Structures are given as C-alpha cells and as structure tokens.
Structure 1
Amino acid sequence: MKKLNLLSLALSCVLGFASCSDNTSPVLAEDQLASVNNSKSTGKIAGAPWVKQFEDTFNVGSNLSQWTKEQRADYNSWYCDYASSVPTTQWRDGKQCLEIKTTKLSTYKYQSGFISSNYQYKPENNTEYMLSANIKLVAMDGGTYKSFTQTYGAWPAFWSVQQNAWPTKGEIDIMEGYSFAPNASRFTSNLFYGTSSGTNLIGNSAERNYPGNFDINGNGGWHLYESFWKMKDNVVTVTIKVDNVTVSTYTNSSAANLNLNNFGPHSIIFNLNVGSKDSNFIDPNKINLFSSVMMWVDDVTVYKRPI
C-alpha cells in the first residue's frame, strides 16, 4: 500500500502487503509440493444475487494477461526491487497458484514481484462488491520449508488502489503482513486517503490489527481474505474479513479527513516487499528470509450485487 514514510513525510509510498502463513506439515523438498495437501480451494463461489465480475484461477502456463507486472523499486523500501519476471504461475500445495518469490541479490538488495489488475471497480449507489483471495505465505531454507513467522523483514500485501494521483481515490489494504521474528509477526487492514497527490491525510489512524487469535499456520497456511465495499443510499462502508471473521468495518467516521465517497475506481494488487525506508520499523541488518519467502495466491474473484 501507499503510505508516508515515518522518517520522510515528503515521500509517498506504495507498500506491498499480503497475507499470511506457512506450512506446519513435515518439511518437504520443493519438487514434492505439488503432490501433497490436495485440499479443496476455499475460493469464494457466491450465489444469487451475487454476479461474478472478475476471476483469475492462475492456471499453470498463464501469461497473467489480466495483470500488469511492475518493474521498479518499491516506494516504501530501500532494499526491494520489483522485476516483471518474478510473478509466475506454479503448482503449489496441489493448487494452481500465482507465486511471488523473493530472491536475495546482495547484502542489502532483494528482488521480488508486484502485480496490479487491469480490471478496476468501485460500487455504484445501492450496490456492493466482494473481493476475495486465498493466500499462503511460506519461506524456504534450501529444500526445507519454514514458517513465515520465522522470518524477519518480509512485508507482503493484498490491497486495492487507484495508483494515479495516490491517495486521492483512496486505498484499501485488506491484508498487510509484517514478519518480525523472533518477536511476533503482525497482520493489519488499513485505509489511506487525501485530497492532493502524494499527501495522505489520515496517517495510520485507520490501521486495524487482526484478532489476537489469528493463526497464520492454521488451515495449512491458507486463508481467505475479503473486502466488502458497498454504497447504500450514498453511504459507503468497507468491511474486511479473514476466514469469514470480520476484522474491521470502516465508515467516514473511522478516521478524521476520511471520505470513502471519493474512493475508486480501484485495481487489485498483490506484492511482496522486503524491508523499509524506516530502519526503526524494519532493521535492515536483521532481515532474514532464509533462501526465499513466497506468496502463493490460489485464486481471486470479484462479485457484485444490488443492495
């Protein structure tokens, strides 16, 4: 997500957050992964009156034509560059997935990936949109799987935003994950908004921590993340859910200077950042991603309904 660096208020940043988790099953070599854990997808299949607007199941061999794969430095970190070659489709946990994988290039430089959907959406009056994605975070130490909670300095994200003139059309962070091993990793939702390009008027006042009982290792590390964005009689509400449990509900009264009526149209973004421009937040000397940290996305859907 985009946010202002705490040490340099003149900078505007696009973060990378994503979601959670890891593998608690016995450690496996990577070539074994496709044959295990063939659990059914938790993909959101919504009945009437919901109507599907967008879907990507990330079938292996896909060229990700519904997405833009960015090639640039991360706006929030001195230590992460995005390469358009990084986002790929792979068999993971018996599922066809988007994979975004970190690679250490040097002591203070990592390569990762960032994709944004060509599809955009925002609710008209008396409509609601439901954006859903199934995500797993996992680390690798050679041929051994490690928990995301054992890493330090990873910053994955699943969010929606209008990147042009950020944050004048708002930003909705469904999941931002921060790995702080050996201290507890944390996950949040958040909003950003401003009336002029590059100036966020609400700081981090809309940041909401996930419930304390959220277990990123549960369900084999796979979790369903959702954003419900609706306008009813010109009143806008955004609700964030994880595994069908409400994490946060936002209205214009949730933060000073917030105006949800000015949000949108938004693209969908998945990215995996490393480090930060604020060394008090993520110490670059402590970054430990083992061989790699990976974000796997099983599927993503957008449904719409009248309300």
Structure 2
Amino acid sequence: MKRLNLLALTVTCVLGLGLASCAEDVTPTTKDQSAKEQSGNSGTKSSTNKAAGAPWVKQFEDTFDVGSSLSQWTKEQRADYNSWYCDYYSSVPTTQWRDGKQCLEIKTTKLSTYKYQSGFISSHYQYKPENNTEYMLSANIKLIAMDRGTYKSFTETYGAWPAFWSVQQNAWPTKGEIDIMEGYSFAPNASRFTSNLFYGTSSGANLLGNAAERNYPGNFDINGNGGWHLYESFWKMQNNVVTVTIKVDNVTVSTYTNSSAGNLNLNNFGPHSIIFNLNVGSKDSNFIDPNKIKLFSTVMMWVDDVTVYKRPI
C-alpha cells in the first residue's frame, strides 16, 4: 500500500475503549436473499472455481467460513500509516454471509468528522519463489457501500482506499511490496484502480516513487459480474530472473521485471505476507481531500476466499 509519509511509519495509535466497533450486521436486501436461494446455497460454502490443476499445488487457503476466528491472520489495531483519518481496530474484520457467500468483511465506520474506523489483516503465512518456481496468489473481492439499508456502488463514494497486497512489513520496503489491487474512490469523478510495486535498500526509504504504478485498463468495470472480481498475482523466478504478473478476471493488467522501474530489484523481494485492508483518506490532501470524504453509512470490502498455489517451471 502506497506510503505517503515515511516518518509516519513510527506513528502508533492509542485507542479509546469506549469507541464503537463496526461489527454490527448488515442485513441483506431481498434481492441478496433471493440470489442466495437461487444459487442453491443452504449453508454450504459456494465454489469460486479457482482450483488449479497439476502441476499447481495448494500452499495456503482461507475460505472465511462464517464463525471463523481468522486464526490464520493478525488483525491489526493501530493508525494507518498513510492517512490522518483512519484507525484500524482488531474487532472490525469479521466473517459474514454476503451475496450467498461466506466472506471476510472489512467495513468502515465514521467516528467523528475527520476520523474513521476500519480493518487491516495480514496473514501469518509467508511465501517467496525459489529458483524455477512460480506462486499464484488469488482472491475474489467485492467492494460495496451502504446508505442505511440501501446498497450503493463503490463508485458513488469518495475517499475510500481498499487494497489487496503482499509485503514484508519488517524493514519496509527492503523486501519489497506487491500491490495487486489498490482502489481509490473519487466520486463524482471516475474511481481509479492500480497495481504497484515498492522497493528500497534501507528501511523507510522507497526508491521507486510511483514509477511502478500501473492503472487498470479503462474498460475495467467494478460493478461488472455482480461486483465480484478475481484478483491474482503470479510471482515467479526462472533461471534467477524474477517476474511479477498481475491479472484481473484472468486478464493481464501489468507485468513487472527489474527493468520496469529504476532501482527495482525483484530478486530481493520476500518473504511476503498477504494483506487486506480498507483505508480512508490520506495524509496528502491534494490526493484525497478530507472535506470531500463520502462513504454513506459504510464502505465494505468482501473477500470470498484467498488461495496460494505453487508450481515448478
């Protein structure tokens, strides 16, 4: 996730015990309930058809079944590094039935004029390709807003900043960062979705700027396919040459090699954890104006499942 203020890496947050959490349920609409019934889902986990055939071998999976304690993840409680306006609470990430699927749900709650509560989880599992191997990290994600009891498109909001990424958080960015999806909502203008890389040789010093940022194709429709999209990162090392490829709905949106940006050294990346978070606002008011933030009652990130597969190449 883009680091806008390197000094903020040391910021911590003292959280008041009396603040409300955003764990209250969001009641599905009649349409959602109907879709669930039509799918034939009566309490069983719905398939996302992501299973990879040989020679892929599954290394990690979380299907976020309702009732899960999210024991494979760290649910962080701290201020966001990139925003003055968002604090992460460990109580926020939960598992819920959404769109007939059992999902991870991360949702925002407005606490005051310039303060929002949200969630951030990082996997205990870490991975990095050895020579002549490739890893495939995949997640099915939906971004949605709600105005009281009415669902709204993510594109109608302003100031939300959801992300799906992998990183080694210790001594960032010396082991690199791979942003598979960063979404920025800028209603009434078009929302923007990107992939990106970060890297540096000393802690707290990103050498790439945003030279590795790649916008998704202009025809990407966040509301297509019922709002659900498959986001994938393919990270491989072949004959000691490292390549990272990002795909959305099986379409390549970016491919990175060491020549993609000055000072980039993909061979020094990893091992990485997997991260889902939903930030609000920014420390750069020219990027996200805090006076324009509009999230209705809430903005939510739903994750149907996440998997990691590995294969020899």
**TM-score normalised by the chain length of structure 1:** 0.92
> What do residues 214-234 of structure 1 show as CA deviations (whole Å, max 9, x unaligned)?
000000000000000000000
Q: In 2, are the aligned partners of 1:60 and 1:89 still within 8 Å (CA)? A: yes
The answer to whether the aligner puts 1:288 opposite 2:294 as a matched pair is yes
1:73 is aligned, of 74, 79, 82, to: 79
Rounded Cα–Cα distance in structure 1 between residues aligned with 2:10 and 2:81: 5
Change (3 A) 1:263 1:232: same
Residue 44 of structure 1, CA deviation: 1.6
Distance in 1 (alpha carbons) for counterparts of 2:113 and 2:4: 25
The residue number in structure 1 matching 2:259 is: 253
Cα deviation, residue 13, structure 1: 9.3
> Match for 1:287: what amino acid?
I
| Equivalence map 1:54-133=2 (5 Å) | 54-133=60-139
Task: Give the structure, 1 or 2, with the largest relative contact order (CA under 8 Å, sep 6 or more).
Answer: 1
Question: How much has 1:3 moved relative to structure 2?
Answer: 1.8
Q: Name the counterpart of 1:194.
A: 200
SS of 1:281's equivalent in the other structure is coil
Q: For residues 121-164 of structure 1, what are the alpha-carbon distances to aligned partners after superposition, in whole Å with 9 as ceiling and x for unaligned?
A: 00000000000000000000000000000000000000000000
Is 1:299 the equivalent of 2:310? no
Partner of 2:168: 162
Q: Do 2:104 and 2:303's aligned partners in 1 also have CA atoms closer than 8 Å? A: yes
Q: Measure, in 2, the Cα distance between the counterparts of 1:184 and 1:13.
A: 33
Q: Deviations over 1:237-292 (max 9, x none)?
A: 00000000000000000000000000000000000000000000000000000000
Q: Identity of aligned pairs, percent? A: 88
**Unmatched runs of 5 consecutive residues or more in structure 1:** 15-27
**Any conservation in 2 of the 1:114–1:272 contact (CA below 8 Å)?**
yes
Q: 1:295 is paired with a residue of what secondary structure? A: strand
**AA at the equivalent of 1:83:** Y
| Alignment coverage as a number of residue pairs | 291
RMSD: 1.6
Corresponding position of 2:225: 219
> Structure 1 CA distance, aligned partners of 2:65 and 2:10?
31
Distance of aligned partners of 1:107 and 1:43 in 2 relative to their CA distance in 1, 3 Å threshold = farther
Hey, what does 1:35 align to over in structure 2?
A: 33
Partners of 1:277 and 1:117 in 2: CA distance: 26
In structure 2, distance between residues paired with 1:33 and 1:67: 32
CA distance in 2, matches of 1:33, 1:83: 31
Which residue of structure 2 aligns with residue 178 of structure 1? Answer: 184
Q: Whole-Å Cα distance in 2 between the matches of residues 31 and 141 of structure 1?
A: 12
Gapped runs of 5+ residues in structure 2? 12-25, 40-45
Conservation of the 8 A alpha-carbon contact between 1:115 and 1:269: yes
- Normalising by structure 2, what TM-score? 0.90
SS at 2:127 equivalent: coil
Q: Secondary structure at the match of 1:30?
A: coil
